[in-house]
Amino acid sequence: MLLAVSALKGYAILASDGRIGSVSDVLFDDESWRLRWLVVDTGTWLSERKVLVHPSAIGVVDHDRQELPIRMSKAQIERSPDISRDRPVSLQMQGQLYDYYGWDPVWGGSGYFGGGLGLVGSSGYSGMGATPMPNGHGSDDGDPHLRSTTAVTGSHLEATDGEIGHVENMLIDDAGWDVRYLIVDTRNWWFGQHVLISPYAVKSISWSDRTIQLDVTRASVKASPAWVPTAMIDQVYEKRLHNHYGWQGYGF
């Protein structure tokens, strides 16, 4: 099922022995476009720490109840490595979590984008917020490919012949936990329209400028199959969309 990131935020996180909080943000890898971590707001329980949940720990999603069960106990989470709220998520921090929980760092995704799209973001946002921070390589610096969906929202998209709009939301696949599409608001160019753009179309990214370069033209965007934000996306629509742009399919 495809789910808007904005809708996922607020879903309850249920440990094996009770609720621990709710999703406050989603972090993804800007090379593979796979979700890497769910950021959990635990309220007053662990208020001084970030709690990160790897997608491999998520069970069957209950969309009706807006709940995500996870294969972790509250005691495990409380004893997990301390990750401060005011620091970006570094490779070292992630390594500590992988080791502690026994998670597989190479797990993930449906493989739609293979080993990654080869995109390298320039200096831009840290994983945990909208404050520009330099990308570093030391253990105290943020992972240069880890991006917050909250921070990416609002980034401008440039076709080969001009701007088409900005990122309003993202659609994710809750089975493979990939970013499937960027939802683009085109109001300043094509009033009243929203379009879907696959990561396959992304040519380069400058996170410092909040700009995403695409390998599509404005004319091709205007001629793409119409999409209504309130409509369900089915395989028929996705086939039409991918055939229009010449993108690879998602298993069809």
User: Among 128, 131, 106, which residue's Cα sits nearest to residue 116?
Assistant: 106
- Name the burial class of residue 134, with classes exposed (0-12), middle (13-18) and buried (19+) by CB atoms within 10 angstroms of its CB: exposed
Asked, for residue 241, whether it belongs to a domain, the answer is yes
pLDDT given for residue 116 in this prediction = 45
Report yes or no on 42 lying in a domain.
no
Global pTM reads 0.84
**What confidence score (pLDDT) does residue 94 get?**
92
Identify residue 64 by its one-letter amino acid code.
D
State the residue range of the domain holding 157.
151-245
Q: How many domains does the chain have?
A: 1
Domain assignment present for 240: yes
Q: Are 211 and 69 in contact (CB under 8 A)?
A: no
**CA-CA-CA-CA dihedral for 185, 118, 100, 97, to nearest 10:** -40
Place of tokens 């979700």: 35
Would you state the pLDDT for residue 108? 66
pLDDT for res 159: 97
CATH number of the CATH domain containing 213: 2.30.30.240
How many CB atoms within 10 Å of residue 34? 23
Distance of CA 172 to the CA centre of its chain: 7
Q: Is residue 218 part of a domain?
A: yes
- Note whether residue 230 is domain-resident: yes
* Strand residues in the chain grouped as ranges (E): 2-4, 12-15, 18-29, 35-41, 51-53, 67-69, 124-125, 132-133, 146-148, 156-159, 162-173, 178-185, 194-197, 202-206, 211-214
Q: Is residue 133 part of a domain?
A: no
Distance from C-alpha of 226 to C-alpha of 25, rounded to nearest angstrom: 29
Tell me which amino acid residue 112 is.
Y
Residue 145, pLDDT score: 87
Write the CA distances from 234 to 33, 63, 241, integer angstroms.
21, 17, 11
Residue 168 lies in a domain: yes
Residue 180 inside a domain? The answer is yes
Q: Render each residue's pLDDT in the chain as its tens digit; 252 residues.
A: 899 999 999 999 999 999 999 999 999 998 889 999 999 999 989 988 889 999 999 999 999 999 999 999 999 999 998 887 778 899 999 999 999 999 988 886 554 554 444 443 332 323 333 333 333 333 346 788 899 999 899 999 999 999 999 999 999 999 889 999 999 999 889 988 899 999 999 999 988 899 999 999 999 999 999 888 888 888 899 999 999 999 987 665
Helices then strands, counting H and E runs in the chain, come out as 6, 15
3-state helix, strand, coil in the chain (%, to 5): 20, 35, 50
